[in-house]
Amino acid sequence: MAVASVAGERRKQLGAFYTPPEIVDALAKWAIRSPTDRVLEPASGEAVFVLESLRRLRSLGALHPAEQVLAVDIDPDSCASATDVLAAAGERASIICRDFFELVPDEQAPFMVAIGNPPYVRYHRFRGDARERGRSAAASVGVTLSGLASSWAPFVVHASRFLAPSGRLAFVLPAELLRADYAGPVREFLLERFGSVTVVTFERAVFPGAAIDTVLLLADGSGSRGLHSVQLNDVADLSSLPTRASVSASPIGRWSGMLTSIEGASALDRLRARGLLRRIGDVATVDIGFVSGANKFFVLDAAEIKRHGLSRRRFQPAIVRPSQLPGAVLTEHDAAQLIASDDCLVLNVSASGLAEQTTALGRYLRRGQRLGIHRGYKCRTDMALRQNGPEAAAALVDDLLMNEGVLDPIELEQVRRARDLLRNRRVNRGRSQA
Ligand SMILES: C[S@@+](CC[C@H](N)C(=O)[O-])C[C@H]1O[C@@H](n2cnc3c(N)ncnc32)[C@H](O)[C@@H]1O
């Protein structure tokens, strides 16, 4: 397994978590079928997929595999380590040190294989030009990605553009592929562009160091049409790919059913068929609850409230972490204990608190401003709406629009739409009161 040389913050920025060898091996075996296959690794990191692809090609009888493999990475350090890793193994490949989205498919001969583990950089870090290039690459094949899309999404779409019609794409991806709203256009694109699409899910975490569920995407331009799911315990079971029987999954909407075990899914089907299942929405209200956008700032315990000289009256008890809950059922007694613990108390304040010049609350909120809490995405949009109501939110939005440079173009568009929505609401409210 390659050891990550990219550290800390930069590692998160580049989405650099390197892939276990069992996965690399299984994906290379599945994707590379002929000694003449040309292979693309669009985010090559320390070249684990590149090295395995070269080995696989050689084992299939390729004489000059170095001429068939193209590796791309934006990070000069990763490119340098990739060169060293290959040299140490007595191998070579073409390595382009560049943003993958600057590569134009028409300028390359088609590839039979796109393989790798693209970066998973979430929307709040995946910003500016990098995000714009990814979005416009996806848009050029009709895939519209929202500003909330993580970086892996445009990688899937753009890499597919380099493939021959019967080519294969084998990627390690976050499970967001199956369930995130922003990934909907990618799911649709995959089913349209490829014959068969298989997703391999794992019961146990693949990357213990990264807080993310991982799946393998196996998309085949020539396979029998449809969406398939393979469920494995952990990476040790990968030796049975790709012959392992897979179950067909429903391609409509989200693919998150794939995360339920096969036994679990069929037990649910049996219960549903006998009319013994009810939707939770039939018996309860389901809501996301509060969104603070910055829990460290807005959720305090009693000691912190005291330290800042704030009034306890401004706070209300909240459930913020699953560990606060004793189990699936919260009794009145549990709730009373939670409240008495004074552990998680959320600040419930309107924008007018900011105007309080001399109070501890005013000082606390202005300190938040200095820390840039109000510039966080959720604080700028959702929170204004949920906590302060349309008038205050509209004022905040106008404020944001006047501060040039605070928002990037996509956010600006979202904020403009939110403002128009709020204006309409105010007009309608005015009419109904008239
Ligand atoms: C998750 S690592 C994967 C490395 C390698 N595929 C592996 O599994 O060992 C992601 C890599 O993507 C690279 N990367 C991030 N953004 C990129 C971009 N726009 N174009 C090319 N490479 C990029 C990072 O430098 C990092 O090396």
Q: How far is the CA of 94 from the centre of ligand 1 (A)?
A: 16
Do 200 and 83 belong together in one domain? yes
Residue 276 lies in a domain: no
Do 307 and 368 belong together in one domain? yes
Cross-strand bridge partners of residue 229: 199, 247
Q: Which domain holds residue 355?
A: 287-374
131 phi, psi to nearest 5 deg: -65, -40
Do 396 and 295 belong together in one domain? no
Domain end (from 244, 271, 298): 271
CB 98 within 8 A of CB 74: yes
**pLDDT at residue number 124:** 58
Domain end (from 324, 358, 374): 374
User: Which CA distances in Å does 109 have to 40, 61, 93?
Assistant: 11, 21, 16
Q: How far is the CA of 432 from the centre of ligand 1 (A)?
A: 55
Residue 250 lies in a domain: yes
- Closest-CA residue, ligand 1 atom 16, reads 14
Q: How far is the CA of 118 from the centre of ligand 1 (A)?
A: 5
- Closest-CA residue, ligand 1 atom 1, reads 16
**pLDDT at residue number 432:** 47
The CA-CA-CA angle for residues 415, 421, 424, to 5°, reads: 145
- Which atom of ligand 1 has the smallest separation from the CA of 41? 6
- Closest-CA residue, ligand 1 atom 25, reads 75
Residue 282 lies in a domain: no
- Closest-CA residue, ligand 1 atom 12, reads 43
Do 260 and 360 belong together in one domain? no
**pLDDT at residue number 242:** 56
CA dihedral 221, 224, 227, 229 (to 10 degrees): -100
| Domain CATH code at residue 51 | 3.40.50.150
Do 197 and 342 belong together in one domain? no
Q: Which residues of the chain have pLDDT under 70?
A: 1-18, 123-127, 208-212, 240-252, 259-265, 288, 350-355, 377-434
DSSP annotation string for 381-394: THHHHHHHHHHHHH
**pLDDT at residue number 122:** 73
Can you read off the two tokens belonging to residue 369? 């401003």
Domain end (from 271, 297, 313): 271
Q: How far is the CA of 21 from the centre of ligand 1 (A)?
A: 16
- Closest-CA residue, ligand 1 atom 4, reads 45
CB 105 within 8 A of CB 79: no
Q: How far is the CA of 381 from the centre of ligand 1 (A)?
A: 31
Q: How far is the CA of 120 from the centre of ligand 1 (A)?
A: 9
Do 41 and 25 belong together in one domain? yes
Residue 330 lies in a domain: yes
Do 82 and 170 belong together in one domain? yes
- Which atom of ligand 1 has the smallest separation from the CA of 119? 10
The preferred substitution site among 22, 51, 70, 73 for testing ligand 1, maximizing ligand atoms within 8 Å of CB, is 73
How far, in Å, CA of 176 to CA of 109, rounded?
A: 31
Pocket lining for ligand 1, CB < 6 angstroms: 2, 14-19, 43-46, 48-49, 72-75, 78, 99-101, 116-117, 119, 130
Residue 281 lies in a domain: no
**pLDDT at residue number 411:** 59
Do 224 and 174 belong together in one domain? yes
**pLDDT at residue number 31:** 97
Q: Is the pTM of this model over 0.85?
A: no
**pLDDT at residue number 153:** 96
Do 53 and 112 belong together in one domain? yes
Residue 363 lies in a domain: yes
- Closest-CA residue, ligand 1 atom 2, reads 16
Q: How far is the CA of 42 from the centre of ligand 1 (A)?
A: 7
Q: How far is the CA of 418 from the centre of ligand 1 (A)?
A: 34
**pLDDT at residue number 285:** 80
Do 113 and 165 belong together in one domain? yes
HSE-CB for 206 with a 13 A CA cutoff: 26
Do 114 and 221 belong together in one domain? yes
CB 204 within 8 A of CB 233: yes
Mean pLDDT of the residues in the chain: 81
Q: How far is the CA of 220 from the centre of ligand 1 (A)?
A: 23
User: What is the number of structural domains in the chain?
Assistant: 3
First to last CA, the chain: 70
**Pairing relation of β-strands 39-41 and 69-73?**
parallel
Do 365 and 383 belong together in one domain? no
Residue 17 lies in a domain: yes
pLDDT in tens, 371-383: 888 777 666 655 5
Residue 387 lies in a domain: yes
